[in-house]
Amino acid sequence: MPSKPKSPCLPFGDHKTAPWYGQDILSVKQFSRTDMEYVIEVAHEMRIMVERIGTFDLLKGKILANLFYEPSTRTSSSFMAAMERLGGAVIPISEVRYSSVAKGESLPDTVRTLECYADVIVLRHPEVGAAALAAKHCRKPIINAGDGIGEHPTQALLDTFTIHEELGRLDNLNVTMLGDLKYGRTVHSLARLLTLCSGITLNYVSPDVLMMPQDVMDEVAEKGIPQTQQTTLKKVLPRTDVLYVTRVQKERFEDVADYDKVKSAYVITPEVMKAAKKKMIVMHPLPRITEIALEFDDDPRAAYFRQMEYGLYVRMALLAMVLGKA
């Protein structure tokens, strides 16, 4: 956890003693095992509160600026729902072309503007490092909602919450990541975060041109986590506890012909899943294109729609934490 809080203008109460008060959330590298467990614990409380009473006023009077330079359905709407479930308000900027960004305003100037009106800023941007740049120029906490092919820390936290809720543990798991591991920021963050767990094996299954980046693999190796690389699922599927499927990201390819060669490399179907354990889960950050057949959706192991809902609770937890209320 970063040690030096920013100083948002929050005059009431003793927020400053709360862990994560005023902190940016830029990378999973900021999280210790204790921090991860804390997020899971708070998210679990949020789940109970939403199931019992729906909306409550923990963040009444607080404002979130939701600043998205790239398309999003889940991250954007779950952060908005999270703030509103906690009694706060949202400035939604999902179409930056209708903001002063279209007039050429820089990212630092845009966040300097929004910090005048909001208590926390959630940022998605196509460039790696954009969230860190924004954080440097902003007095209010920045939450990275995806920076290009870099990281997506809140997704990785909701992924670990999903695993915990669904399988009841975070240790001693065989995790297989499938698909676009080169451009998929969710798997970069999740692989790093899972190094906080013990007894983990990570299997990477992808076409040769979409392999997990070496820097991520090196970081994972440094933590002593066993990793395997394959081009087919055959060998690893029977021992997999978590199958994490990803979309091949067309928008990151320079040449669409290269995308066409790999876009249908893997399709999870009920037939393919006959080789998997009865008690395991299939996850996907979504959106999906063709990599999971619709026919698999009714299988109890298909956890990807439940995973989206868990995202709401984790984002409620993170907003409460950086605003000093958890």
Segment interacting with ligand CP (CB under 6 A) among 21-29, 36-44, 164-172, 284-292:
284-292
Nearer of residues 206 and 249 to ligand CP, judged by Cβ? 249
Q: Work out whether 286 is an interface residue with ligand CP (CB under 6 A).
A: yes
C-alpha span between 10 and 61 (Å, rounded): 11
d(CA 49, CA 185): 31
What phi-psi label fits residue 280: left (phi over 0), alpha (psi between -120 and 50 degrees) or beta? beta
75 binds ligand CP (CB under 6 A): yes
Angle at 124 between CA 56 and CA 82, to 5 degrees: 10
Name the burial class of residue 314, with classes exposed (0-12), middle (13-18) and buried (19+) by CB atoms within 10 angstroms of its CB.
Answer: buried
Q: Rounded distance, CA 101 to CA 85, Å? A: 29
Q: Which stretch binds ligand CP (CB under 6 A): 134-142, 252-260, 267-275, 279-287?
A: 279-287
Task: Work out whether 290 is an interface residue with ligand CP (CB under 6 A).
Answer: no
CB of 141 to ligand CP, least distance (A): 19
Which residue in the block uniquely carries the two structure tokens 């941007």?
A: 125
Task: Determine which residue in the list 7, 55, 73, 269 makes contact with ligand CP, applying CB under 6 A.
Answer: 73
Helices (H), the chain: 33-53, 74-85, 107-114, 130-136, 153-167, 185-194, 214-222, 256-262, 304-322
Question: Does residue 155 interact with ligand CP by CB under 6 A?
Answer: yes
Nearer to ligand CP, 115 or 151 (CB): 151
Question: Minimum Å distance from CB 309 to ligand CP?
Answer: 13
Single-letter residue type at 24:
D
To ligand CP, the closest distance from the beta carbon of 45 in angstroms equals 23
Mark 53-72 with x for binding to ligand CP (rule: CB under 6 A) and - for no binding: -------------------x
Nearer to ligand CP, 74 or 192 (CB): 74
CB nearer to ligand CP: pick between 13 and 287: 287
Nearer residue to ligand CP within complex by CB, 24 or 147 = 147
How many angstroms separate the CA atoms of 189 and 24, rounded? Answer: 16
Give the range of 24-32, 93-101, 257-265, 281-289 binding ligand CP by CB under 6 A.
Answer: 281-289
Q: Measure the CA dihedral 257/262/268/271, to 10°.
A: 100
Query: Is 285 among the residues that bind ligand CP (CB under 6 A)?
Result: yes
Total residues binding ligand CP (CB under 6 A): 10
In 3D space, the residue among 210, 166, 159 whose CA is nearest the CA of residue 186 turns out to be 159
Residues found near ligand CP in the complex (CB under 6 A): 72-76, 146, 155, 285-287
